[in-house]
């Protein structure tokens, strides 16, 4: 039998047993759809949560003012520690593994007004790299630059929500706002973002001004020193330098303010790098769980496919006997069953992946919550499920077919299905 005739004969056989063929197709396709959708949901959650984390900041350490809990250099524990303007450049010079060491000043519930409305937002002052390390993107205009900071220009960059409150649908860039009755020119507006964490308010509700202008126009009130800072923002040069950067900053601050660098209470730290590592561990555990559930699902689907294929071969024992009686070799019989199994696997696998990917594409057209990036199928899960179920289907067909092909033709002709 030539290969062309073998293919046609296989198609006719599959068509003549439509219900059995459909059940086998359904078993393989359903297994592939299940594992693909399961992994796609897990991947969508992972990507969405990672994006949410990065809307606050990426690879950032925030050092807060604290109180010593250890004695150091003859000084008692329990002293208050407060960062100063001079700390940022001094620490930056000493902490060579750090890319940025930025001062930050904040003034909560400030009186801000435009020609159209009033508000009481948080006003924050820092240096130009603040926008980069805090994931602040520009929608209109620009963020303040080094020239604005050096000359302490009264320019303001608005969060998206505060812009709507002060100007509604009107353009804000070039307009004047008054912060505590001091005129500031709006130079830019922030792109809206869904922030999942903060330490002093949501960025969309803030007004950002240069550090120089903040220090001049809004000095600290007693009992704080005139040059006291709220936070120090530190970004490492790379993830590989993260631990070195952290140690260098802690050592420098300890030397400047006379506390033990190991004293975590003196310089409380919010480390988004460690937070990201913890999140990655959670997602890896979830991936292992989903993988285990997926493998169980595939095996259950494989058992169903195996049963259908075993029954199919047993039902065709008489057919095998006829083929052997007219001269068909055991090899040709095995080849036909192999081709049948391969055709079923390819057809059902392609159908299953097509349905799964199509469903994912349709779901991704719907509005998604901020923490979920949609159904993101991965080719690895599709290939794994396709390979596993396909192997089960082929082996399920070949093993009983080989046993039947080795049976004496007379015995095969006498076989009664169900007997």
Phi/psi of residue 331, each to 5°?
-65, -40
Q: What is the pLDDT of residue 10?
A: 62
Across the chain, mean pLDDT equals 84
pLDDT surpasses 70 at 170: yes
pLDDT (0 to 100) of residue 22: 76
Contacts of 152 (CB under 8 A, 6+ apart): 210, 212, 213, 215, 216
β-partners of residue 61 are 234, 271
pLDDT at 309: 65
Tokens at residue 38, please? 């399961």
> Which residue did the predictor score with more confidence, 88 or 296?
88
**Comparing C-alpha atoms, which of 10, 7, 17 is closest to residue 308?**
17
Residue 255: per-residue pLDDT = 93
Q: What is the pLDDT of residues 354-406, one digit of tens each?
A: 888 899 889 888 888 877 888 888 777 777 777 776 777 677 667 766 766 67
**Average pLDDT of the residues in 172-183:** 95
pLDDT the model gives residue 417: 57
pLDDT band, residue 242 (cuts 50/70/90): very high
> Could you report the per-residue pLDDT of 89-115, keeping only the tens digit for each?
999 999 999 999 999 999 888 899 999
Bridge partner list, 185: 155, 176
In this predicted structure, what is the pLDDT of residue 278? 83
pLDDT recorded at residue 143: 97
Q: Domain boundaries in the chain?
A: 3-54+277-414, 66-97+238-267, 100-236
pLDDT of residue 275: 84
Provide the whole-model pTM.
0.71
> pLDDT: is 48 or 171 the higher one?
171
Candidates 201, 186, 118, 105; CA nearest to 148 is: 186
Mean pLDDT over residues 67-87, rounded? 86
pLDDT for residue 17: 67
Give pLDDT tens digits for 200-236.
889 999 999 999 999 999 988 777 777 888 889 999 9
Q: Could you give the percent of the chain with pLDDT greater than 70?
A: 86
Angle between helices 18-56 and 272-315 (to 10 degrees): 180
Give the model's pLDDT for residue 287.
74
pLDDT of amino acid 3: 56
pLDDT at site 298: 67
Over range 344-354, report the average pLDDT. 81
pLDDT-derived band of residue 140, with 50, 70 and 90 as boundaries? very high
The CA distance from 13 to 1, in Å, is 15
16 Cβ contact list (under 8 Å, min separation 6): none
Q: How many CB atoms lie within 10 A of CB 367?
A: 4
b/e per residue, 343-356, with b = 16+ CB within 10 A?
Answer: ebbebbbebbbebb
CA distances from 104 to 230, 269, 398 (A): 6, 15, 71
- pLDDT of the residue at 213: 95
Q: Pick from 133, 85, 114, 61: which is nearest to 256 by CA?
A: 85
Instruction: For strands 182-190 and 155-158, give the pairing.
Output: parallel
Q: Answer yes or no: is pLDDT of 21 > 80.
A: no
Q: Would the pLDDT of 193 be above 80? A: yes
> Could you tell me which of 259, 208, 220 has the C-alpha nearest to residue 75?
259
- Higher-pLDDT residue of 193 and 399 is 193
Q: What pLDDT sits at residue 169?
A: 92
Q: Is the pLDDT of residue 288 over 90?
A: no
Is residue 194 very low, low, confident or very high in pLDDT (cuts 50, 70, 90)? confident
- Residues 25-71: tens digit of each pLDDT: 777 777 778 778 888 888 888 888 777 777 788 889 999 999 998 88
């Amino acid at each position: 039998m030539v290969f062309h005739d073998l293919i046609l004969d296989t198609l006719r056989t599959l068509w003549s047993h439509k219900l059995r063929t459909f059940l086998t197709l359904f078993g393989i396709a359903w297994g592939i759809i299940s594992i693909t959708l399961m992994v796609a949901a897990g991947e969508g959650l992972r990507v969405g949560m990672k994006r949410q984390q990065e809307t606050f900041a990426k690879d950032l350490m925030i050092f807060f003012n604290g109180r010593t809990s250890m004695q150091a250099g003859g000084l008692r524990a329990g002293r208050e520690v407060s960062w100063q303007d001079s700390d940022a450049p001094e620490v930056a010079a000493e902490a060579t593994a750090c890319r940025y060491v930025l001062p930050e000043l904040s003034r909560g519930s400030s009186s801000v007004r435009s020609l159209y409305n009033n508000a009481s937002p948080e006003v924050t002052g820092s240096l130009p790299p603040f926008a980069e390390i805090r994931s602040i993107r520009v929608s209109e205009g620009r963020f303040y630059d080094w020239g604005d900071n050096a000359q302490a220009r009264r320019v303001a960059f608005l969060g998206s929500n505060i812009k709507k409150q002060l100007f509604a649908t009107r353009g804000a860039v070039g307009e004047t706002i008054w912060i505590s009755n001091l005129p500031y020119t709006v130079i830019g507006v922030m792109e809206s973002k869904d922030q999942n964490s903060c330490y002093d308010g949501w960025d969309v509700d803030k007004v950002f001004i240069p550090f120089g202008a903040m220090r001049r126009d809004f000095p600290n009130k007693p009992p704080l020193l005139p040059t006291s800072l709220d936070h120090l923002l530190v970004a490492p040069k790379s993830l590989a330098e993260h631990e070195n950067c952290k140690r260098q900053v802690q050592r420098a601050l300890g030397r400047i303010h006379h506390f033990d660098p190991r004293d975590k209470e003196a310089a409380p730290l919010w480390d988004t790098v460690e937070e990201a590592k913890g999140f990655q561990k959670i997602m890896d555990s979830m991936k292992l769980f989903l993988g285990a559930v997926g493998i169980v699902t595939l095996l259950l689907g494989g058992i169903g496919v195996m049963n259908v294929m075993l029954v199919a071969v047993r039902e065709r024992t008489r057919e095998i006997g006829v083929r052997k009686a007219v001269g068909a070799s055991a090899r040709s019989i095995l080849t036909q069953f192999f081709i049948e199994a391969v055709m079923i696997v390819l057809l059902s696998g392609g159908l299953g992946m097509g349905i799964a990917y199509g469903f994912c594409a349709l779901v991704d057209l719907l509005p998604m919550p901020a923490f979920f990036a949609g159904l993101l199928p991965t080719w690895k899960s599709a290939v794994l499920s396709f390979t596993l179920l396909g192997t089960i289907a082929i082996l399920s067909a070949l093993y009983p077919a080989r046993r039947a092909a080795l049976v004496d033709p007379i015995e095969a002709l006498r076989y009664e299905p169900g007997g």
